[in-house]
């Protein structure tokens, strides 16, 4: 028997239809089948007028970007899941010509606006022109772009405003900035094209058929060059940097910080199954002391020794994100030194983080920088808390939380946890272990909340717009509570949910609460 | 019948490597240039070229020079090349690659910072410049960037269907705006055809969907002479599975970088066929060797041969063959660890519009460049010569078309012919009964794949010719579009393409039937051993509307065939 897949395709001919509608087709499944194969099957067997673009079928031309189950992908390199309904829609943000074919004239216009070619004021003195491999290495990577426009579709910034030209075009600016032959002031252009609007959510990287890390290789690169060129940061962003430089914390002290409150740095258990150091990050130390304590409690209950160094330093994520490389790199050195010393002192090799932003920064920014500087990376491994529990302690070994929390709970996947560290299912697994919790999946759970990348600090209005869109998705789930694993997301989401019944919680808090309730029961 | 007329000085049809380069060149002459493109700008098949660009820079092997490049090209082309054109190719290739660098191209470098060069089949030296294994993409991206700097007006998703000729000279074209379905006439003083090849007339091909031979069909109908149409290159290494990836190109760079071919017995079989050059024999030779292994029962399980690069350091593979890694990852194969399965795939048309040293066709005002032309590559094209061809002849055709436009005025248009053309296209939409383009296409591509293929024989080709004549008479007038909508209707697009596919296929089959001996890519199992085959076959539409084929003498400047 041949297997068929239910395929729902958005149809729309603005000449004839008042609005788009979905049409269902049964597509015969073949192993290895791509979304493009499914579309061609429909076109050949059912309706030759079904409009979509394609050319090369090899991921090289970038014609066939469509939304596959909500996320933009190039059809020829996206495999069909045999057991799922396949929903195909045109890209977001761009007007529809027909069915899955978007009008890309806005994109073309926006590309031309940045003078997207190598501008020279003189030709080379000799041919062949001498260029060394190292001068084109980074350039080579971001030049793989095939202009499929997919990244524009799910970009949370572009969704709110065309003031930002989107990942693909910002990437082109970085490509030109990196080209030793180009003479235009691409930094001024990047400022003019709102390079500080990006939240570095990495959706574009996830979508990119060439996996180009646009936030790091383009956005942050252009920002660092802007800072170097003397462009001031927004005052909100500069405030963080000044705080870090003065105190090692990105925010000012209010009530007693966690690291001052705790009397010892050693939280040891009998017969430990493991030992970790806890990197608190600024917000858990200064603003969410209870979350910090909850995390220590949860790990201790699961037989893990927790070492909390009393002297810690900011990971400097705000500096990495906004381009103050001096502050950023200084912090990377300090953090590495502190935790290498602790590792040695306590004979451990694992650092646990409960903040998505810190974890991403330690892994994606500190690690390669330190390795580049001294030839070897930091001597400790970094784990997110949920990842550590599921992947290291192991689901079967986790002490079951017994206190019932009877609620409909959804989850917001912090960008820097999901796409930044590849931690996607573990936090949800933890949630599901709590008795009474009814987990409701938000199809947009990995949509950026608008806080990151210096956007909340620097462009509050834009940040609020992104958050308001997010709020709509959260409300659509019908959940009583949204949980997450990043202090920054927690602040942003609880702000935007003010005035609603929906509560915002940090996962370790919720877990600790269930343990406590369980204790009381017994 | 309503249509709009758009005016320009120079019209370029096609927006691949040659078309973009022609438009850029023409725009330098203070002329109004329009480039029309069936696809979006930057999506042309050139972006699929992988391995590289042949140019005798001598950056790696200092003894290389244009003379040797010329000799390799002629020998590789089995002496059928127009030697004037081949001389231009090797002469201008260096300056054209420097142009690309001026425009912003980023080719891989030697340790001294010069353009790096790798070995490719049948070449005396390491000559092929590259950007990893996405050289075509690099060139396409560069040209796209460059086009955006020029005054060239790009009309994308506009499909040319007919050339308009007035008093034997080019006057413009008929076209359809694919987005909204409007009929358009473009009037120009000169026209450059840069419409690419027609791999899509074969069931298994490396070509993008747009490569159906529109240019061959249109030019032939307009009275343009075509040359070497029987010479179709089957690239020896196309993907075998999954089914949907069948025919996708596996770059020659895999063999250039040291990849080896193995049969099911683990034997490096090329040593039995071409022991001196092994895997770097000509593309036609390697393709036949692989097919012989398969036919004699030593093929891989899915009907191909094994191509392995697993013995090379991973770092080299990752740097120089990054697209191949990605392409095979999708098929579940890690080429750093395991062999690929490959078999031949229809790849390149050596034949096409017959041009002279000015890239001019026999129709005054009509110029051509790139894969849609014939003569540069003779009976077999060397890997890496096509990208060079696009740049060398693209620039040349742009320049000569511009000069022609400066010296000539717009001609009047044969409006009756234009209206008749639009009515023909309209009829496909109105027809109630008939054949769907998908069915017609499947029949045609299967016919060509089985009857006019790598190993050819008289009765197969005769049958193909007979069938194609029938299709032309009976099926083409019966093509109908299921849904009579003009706004972005792929069914209609395919219907419009089909007639061009049939004309192209017929030229291939008729010329192949005429050539009795073996030469270049044309290989017959029943070859006449006495025929040296030192001639070109030229095709034109006769006065009576019938296809006329004639044998013409080779154009020789330096190298006399043995």
pLDDT in tens, B456-493: 999 999 999 999 999 999 999 999 999 999 999 999 99
Residue B391 and residue B499 in one domain: no
CB of B145 within 8 Å of a chain A CB? The answer is: yes
Find residues 447-486 of chain A whose CB sits inside 8 Å of chain B. none
ipTM of the complex: 0.94
**B437-451 and B458-470 helices, crossing angle to 10°:** 160
In chain B, residues with a C-beta closer than 8 Å to the C-beta of A62 are: 42-43
Please answer yes or no on whether B490 and A49 come within 8 Å at the CB atom.
Answer: yes
Closest alpha carbon within chain A to B150: A117
CB distance B5 to B104 below 8 Å: no
Q: Are B361 and B326 in the same domain?
A: no
- Say yes or no to pLDDT of A522 above 80: no
Same domain (yes/no): B470, B505: yes
> A438 at the B interface (CB within 8 A)?
no
- How does pLDDT run across A346-374, given as a tens digit for each residue? 999 999 999 999 999 999 999 999 999 99
User: Among A134-138, A419-423, A482-486, B284-288, whose mean pLDDT is lowest?
Assistant: A134-138
For residue A97, list chain B residues with Cβ-Cβ distance below 8 A: 179-180, 487-488
Whether B137 contacts B51, CB under 8 Å: no
- Interface contact A51-B488, CB threshold 8 A: yes
- Any idea which residues of B carry the catalytic annotation? 235, 255
| pLDDT tens digits, one per residue of B374-409 | 999 999 999 999 999 999 999 999 999 999 999 999
Residues of B in contact with A30 (CB under 8 A): 242-244
Residue B535 belongs to some domain of the structure: no
- Which whole number is the average pLDDT over A56-73? 94
> Of A129-138, B25-34, B491-500, which range is least confident?
A129-138
Q: Is residue B163's pLDDT more than 70?
A: yes
Determine, for residues B106 and A43 on separate chains, whether the beta-carbon distance falls below 8 Å. Answer: no
Does residue B384 lie in a domain region?
yes
Number of domains comprising chain B? 3
pLDDT score recorded for residue B242: 84
Average pLDDT, integer, range A290-300: 96
- Can you tell me which residue has the tokens 């001096």? A326
pTM: 0.95
Q: Which residue from B144, B326, B488 is facing A101, i.e. has the nearest CB?
A: B488
| pLDDT tier for residue A143 given thresholds of 50, 70 and 90 | very high
Closest CA to A187 of A143, A231, A147: A231
B533: closest CA of chain A, how far (Å): 35
Q: Above 70 in pLDDT, residue A41?
A: yes
Please say whether the beta carbons of A72 and A204 come within 8 A: no
Q: What is the pLDDT of residue A520?
A: 87
DSSP structure string for A249-313: SSS---SPPHHHH-S-SEE--SS-SEEEEEE-HHHHHHT-HHHHHHHHHHHHHTTEEEE--SS--
Domain-embedded: residue B543: no
Q: Which of residues 178-207 of A touch B (CB under 8 A)?
A: 179, 181-182
Using a CB–CB cutoff of 8 Å, tell me whether A11 touches chain B.
Answer: no
Identify the domain boundary among B347, B382, B398. Answer: B347
CB B518 within 8 A of CB B45: no
Q: Considering the domain boundaries, does residue B413 fall inside one?
A: no
* CATH code, B355: 3.50.50.60
Q: Is residue B14 part of a domain?
A: yes
Taking residues A89-114, report their average pLDDT: 96
Interface test with chain A among B488, B493, B494, B496, by most A beta carbons within 10 Å? B488
Q: How far is CA B12 from the centre of its chain?
A: 17
Q: What's the average model confidence in pLDDT over A171-178?
A: 97
| B332 part of contact set with chain A, CB < 8 Å | yes
Nearest alpha-carbon partner for A281 in A248, A254, A232, A252: A248
B436 interfaces chain A, CB cutoff of 8 Å: yes
Residues in chain B closer than 8 A to A36 (CB atoms): 244
Chain A: closest CA distance from residue B407 (Å) = 31
Same domain, B137 and B252: no
Q: Check which CATH number belongs to the domain holding B289 and give it.
A: 3.90.700.10
**Would you call B246 an interface residue with chain A, using a CB distance cutoff of 8 Å?**
no
If you ran DSSP here, which 8-state letter would residue B45 be given?
A: G
**Cβ–Cβ below 8 Å for A30 and B242:** yes
The span from the CA of A491 to the CA of A457, in Å, is 12
Nearest CA of chain B to the CA of A39: how many Å?
Answer: 12
- Is A142 exposed, middle or buried, given 0-12, 13-18 or 19+ CB atoms closer than 10 A? buried
A204-208 contacts at long range (C-beta below 8 A, 24 or more positions apart) = A204/A151, A204/A154, A204/A155, A204/A167, A204/A168, A205/A419, A206/A71, A206/A419, A207/A71, A207/A72, A207/A73, A207/A150, A207/A151, A207/A153, A207/A154, A208/A145, A208/A150, A208/A151, A208/A167
The whole-number average pLDDT for the span A308-329 is: 97
Are B56 and B197 in the same domain? Answer: yes
Contacts of B209 in chain A (CB under 8 A): 54-57
Question: Rounded mean pLDDT of B26-37?
Answer: 98
Task: Return the H-helix or E-strand segment holding B366.
Answer: strand B366-368
Cα–Cα distance for residue pair A204/A62, rounded to 1 Å: 15
- Do B361 and B490 lie in a common domain? no
Instruction: Tell how many helices (H) and how many strands (E) occur in chain B.
Output: 15, 21
B516 pLDDT higher than 90:
yes
Q: Which of residues 292-351 of A touch B (CB under 8 A)?
A: none
Q: Are residues B342 and B376 in the same domain?
A: no
Same domain assignment for residues B72 and B130 = yes
Specify the pLDDT at position B29.
97
Q: Quick one: pLDDT band at residue A491, thresholds 50, 70, 90? A: very high
Of A48, A53, A58, the CB nearest to B482: A48
pLDDT of A1 above 70: no
* Average pLDDT of the segment spanning B75-94: 98
B538 located within any domain: no
Beta strand B10-13 pairing with B340-349: unpaired
The yes-or-no verdict on residue B64 having pLDDT over 80 is yes
Q: What is the DSSP letter of B278?
A: G
User: Which value, to the nearest 10 degrees, does the dihedral of the CA atoms of residues A33, A36, A39, A45 take?
Assistant: -60
Mean pLDDT on B520-534: 95
Give yes or no for B243 touching A (CB within 8 A).
yes
Q: How distant is the Cα of A110 from the closest Cα of chain B, in angstroms?
A: 11
pLDDT at A31: 86
Query: Most A CBs within 10 Å: which of B109, B131, B235, as the mutation test of the A interface?
Result: B109
CA B327, B330, B334, B340 torsion: positive or negative? negative
Contacts of B41 in chain A (CB under 8 A): 108
Query: Which residue in A has a C-alpha nearest to residue B109's C-alpha?
Result: A133
Q: Give the count of Cβ contacts less than 8 A between chain A and B.
A: 177
**What CATH code is carried by the domain that includes residue B449?**
1.20.58.100
Taken as a whole, chain A contains a residue count of 522
Structural domain that includes position B464: 423-528
Compute how many other C-beta atoms are within 10 angstroms of the C-beta atom of residue A305: 18
- A136 close to B (CB below 8 A): yes
For residue A90, give the 3-state DSSP assignment: coil
Q: Are residues B266 and B380 in the same domain?
A: no
Going by pLDDT thresholds of 50, 70 and 90, the confidence category of residue B521 is very high
Q: Are residues B50 and B87 in the same domain?
A: yes
Residues on chain B touching A51 (C-beta within 8 angstroms): 488-490
Residue with tokens 């931690």: A423
pLDDT above 80 (res A23): yes
Domain for residue B561, yes or no? Answer: no
Residues B504 and B478 in one domain: yes
- Could you give the percent of chain A with pLDDT greater than 90? 94
For A59, the closest of B136, B145, B326 (CB atoms) is: B326
Q: At what angle do helices A507-521 and A426-433 cross, to 10 degrees?
A: 20
Check pLDDT > 70 for residue B455. Answer: yes
> Domain check: are B170 and B301 in the same one?
no
* Mean per-residue pLDDT over chain A, rounded: 96
> Where residue B1 falls among pLDDT bands split at 50, 70, 90?
confident
Residue B297 lies inside a defined structural domain of this protein: yes
Q: Which of B318, B347, B376 is the last residue of a domain?
A: B347
Tell me phi and psi for residue A66, to 5 degrees. -140, 170
Q: Chain B residues with CB inside 8 Å of A34's CB?
A: 244
Q: Answer yes or no: are the C-beta atoms of A29 and A13 closer than 8 Å.
A: no
**Cα–Cα distance measured from residue B340 to residue A434, given in angstroms and rounded to the nearest whole number:** 48
Single out the residue in B297, B321, B347 at which a domain terminates.
B347
Q: What is the pLDDT of residues A218-252, one digit of tens each?
A: 999 999 999 999 999 999 999 999 999 999 999 99
Mean pLDDT in residue range B452-459: 96
């Amino acid at each position: 028997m041949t297997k068929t897949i239910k395929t729902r395709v958005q149809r729309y001919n603005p000449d004839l239809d008042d609005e788009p509608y979905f049409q269902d087709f049964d597509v015969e499944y073949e192993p290895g089948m791509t979304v493009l194969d499914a579309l061609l099957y429909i076109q050949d067997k059912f309706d030759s007028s079904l409009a979509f673009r394609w050319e090369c079928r090899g991921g090289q031309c970038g014609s066939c970007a469509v939304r596959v189950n909500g996320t933009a992908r190039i059809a020829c390199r996206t495999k069909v899941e045999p057991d799922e309904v396949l929903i195909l829609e045109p890209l977001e943000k761009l007007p529809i010509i027909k069915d899955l074919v978007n009008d890309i004239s806005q994109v073309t216009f926006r590309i031309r606006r940045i003078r997207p070619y190598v501008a020279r004021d003189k030709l080379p003195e000799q041919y062949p022109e001498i260029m060394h491999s190292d001068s084109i290495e980074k350039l080579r990577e971001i030049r793989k772009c095939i202009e499929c426009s997919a990244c524009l579709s799910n970009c949370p910034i572009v969704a709110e405003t065309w003031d930002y030209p989107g990942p693909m075009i910002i990437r082109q600016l970085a490509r030109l900035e990196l080209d030793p032959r180009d003479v235009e002031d691409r930094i001024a252009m990047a400022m003019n094209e709102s390079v500080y609007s990006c939240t570095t959510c990495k959706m574009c990287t996830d979508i990119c058929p060439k996996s180009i890390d646009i936030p790091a290789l383009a956005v942050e690169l252009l920002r660092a060059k802007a800072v170097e060129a003397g462009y001031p940061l927004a005052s909100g962003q500069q405030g963080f940097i000044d705080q870090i430089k003065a105190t090692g914390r990105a925010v000012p002290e209010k009530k007693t910080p966690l690291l001052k409150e705790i009397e010892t740095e050693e939280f040891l258990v009998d017969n430990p199954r493991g030992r970790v150091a806890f990197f608190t990050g600024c917000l858990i130390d200064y603003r969410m002391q209870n979350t910090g304590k909850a995390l220590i409690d949860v790990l201790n209950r699961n037989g893990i020794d927790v070492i909390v160094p009393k002297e810690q330093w900011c990971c400097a994520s705000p500096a990495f994100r906004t381009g103050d490389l001096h502050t950023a790199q200084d912090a990377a050195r300090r953090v590495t030194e502190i935790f290498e010393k602790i590792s040695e002192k306590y004979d451990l090799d694992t650092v646990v983080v409960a903040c998505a932003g810190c974890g991403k920064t330690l892994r994606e920014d500190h690690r390669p920088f330190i390795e580049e500087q001294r030839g070897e990376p930091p001597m400790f491994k970094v784990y997110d808390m949920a990842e550590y529990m599921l992947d290291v302690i192991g689901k079967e070994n986790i002490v079951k939380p017994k206190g019932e929390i009877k609620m409909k709970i959804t989850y917001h996947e912090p960008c820097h946890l999901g796409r930044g560290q590849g931690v996607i299912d573990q936090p949800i697994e933890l949630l599901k272990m709590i008795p009474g919790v009814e987990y409701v999946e938000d199809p947009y759970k990995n949509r950026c909340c608008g806080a990151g990348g210096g956007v909340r600090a620097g462009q509050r209005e834009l940040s609020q717009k992104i958050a308001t869109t997010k709020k709509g998705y959260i409300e659509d789930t019908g959940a009583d509570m949204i949980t997450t694993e990043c202090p920054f997301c927690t602040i942003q989401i609880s702000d935007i949910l003010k005035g609603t019944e929906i509560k915002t919680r940090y996962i370790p808090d919720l877990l600790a609460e269930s343990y406590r309730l369980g204790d009381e029961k017994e | 019948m309503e249509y709009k007329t758009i005016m320009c000085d120079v019209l370029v049809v096609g927006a691949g490597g040659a078309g973009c380069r022609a438009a850029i060149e023409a725009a330098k002459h203070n002329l109004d240039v329009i480039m029309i493109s069936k696809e979006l700008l930057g999506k042309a098949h050139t972006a699929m070229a992988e391995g590289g660009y042949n140019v005798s820079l001598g950056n790696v092997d200092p003894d290389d020079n244009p003379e040797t490049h010329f000799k390799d090209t002629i020998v590789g082309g089995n002496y059928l090349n127009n030697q004037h054109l081949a001389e231009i190719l090797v002469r201008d290739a260096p300056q054209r690659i420097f142009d690309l660098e001026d425009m912003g191209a980023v080719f891989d470098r030697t340790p001294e910072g010069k353009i790096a060069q790798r070995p490719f089949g049948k070449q005396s030296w390491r000559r092929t410049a590259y950007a990893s294994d996405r050289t075509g993409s690099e060139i396409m991206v560069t040209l796209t960037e460059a086009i955006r700097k020029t005054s060239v007006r790009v009309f994308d998703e506009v499909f040319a269907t007919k050339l308009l000729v007035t008093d034997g000279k080019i006057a413009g074209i008929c076209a359809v705006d694919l987005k909204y379905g409007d009929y358009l006439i473009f009037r120009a003083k000169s026209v450059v055809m840069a419409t690419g090849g027609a791999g899509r007339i074969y069931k298994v091909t490396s070509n993008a969907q747009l490569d159906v031979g529109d240019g061959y069909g249109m030019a032939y109908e307009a009275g343009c002479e075509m040359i070497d149409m029987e010479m179709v290159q089957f690239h020896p290494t196309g993907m075998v599975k999954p089914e949907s990836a069948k025919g996708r190109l596996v770059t020659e760079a895999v063999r250039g970088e040291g990849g080896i071919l193995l049969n099911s017995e683990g034997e490096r079989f090329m040593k039995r066929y071409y022991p001196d050059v092994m895997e770097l024999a000509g593309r036609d030779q390697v393709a036949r060797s692989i097919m012989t292994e398969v036919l004699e029962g030593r093929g891989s399980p899915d009907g191909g041969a094994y191509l392995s690069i697993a013995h090379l350091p991973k770092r080299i593979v990752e740097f120089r063959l990054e697209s191949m890694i990605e392409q095979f990852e999708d098929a579940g194969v890690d080429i750093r660890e395991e062999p690929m399965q490959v078999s031949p795939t229809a790849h390149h048309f050596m034949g096409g519009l017959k041009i002279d040293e000015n890239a001019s066709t026999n129709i005054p005002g009509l110029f051509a460049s790139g894969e849609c032309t014939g003569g540069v590559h003779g009976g077999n094209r060397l890997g890496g010569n096509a990208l060079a061809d696009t740049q060398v002849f693209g620039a040349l055709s742009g320049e000569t078309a511009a000069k022609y436009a400066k010296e000539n005025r717009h001609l009047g248009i044969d409006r009756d012919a234009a209206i008749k053309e639009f009515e023909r296209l309209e009829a496909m939409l109105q027809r109630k009964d008939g054949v769907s383009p998908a069915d017609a296409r499947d029949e045609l591509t299967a016919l060509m794949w089985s009857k006019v293929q790598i190993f050819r024989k008289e009765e197969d080709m005769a049958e193909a010719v007979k069938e194609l004549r029938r299709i032309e008479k009976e099926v083409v007038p019966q093509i109908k579009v299921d849904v009579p909508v003009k706004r972005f209707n792929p069914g209609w697009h395919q219907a419009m393409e089909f007639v061009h596919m049939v004309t192209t296929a017929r030229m291939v089959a008729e010329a192949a039937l005429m050539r009795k001996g073996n030469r270049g890519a044309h290989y017959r199992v029943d070859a006449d051993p006495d025929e040296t085959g030192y001639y070109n076959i030229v095709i034109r539409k006769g006065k009576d509307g019938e296809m006329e084929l004639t044998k013409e003498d080779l154009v020789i400047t330096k190298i006399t065939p043995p």
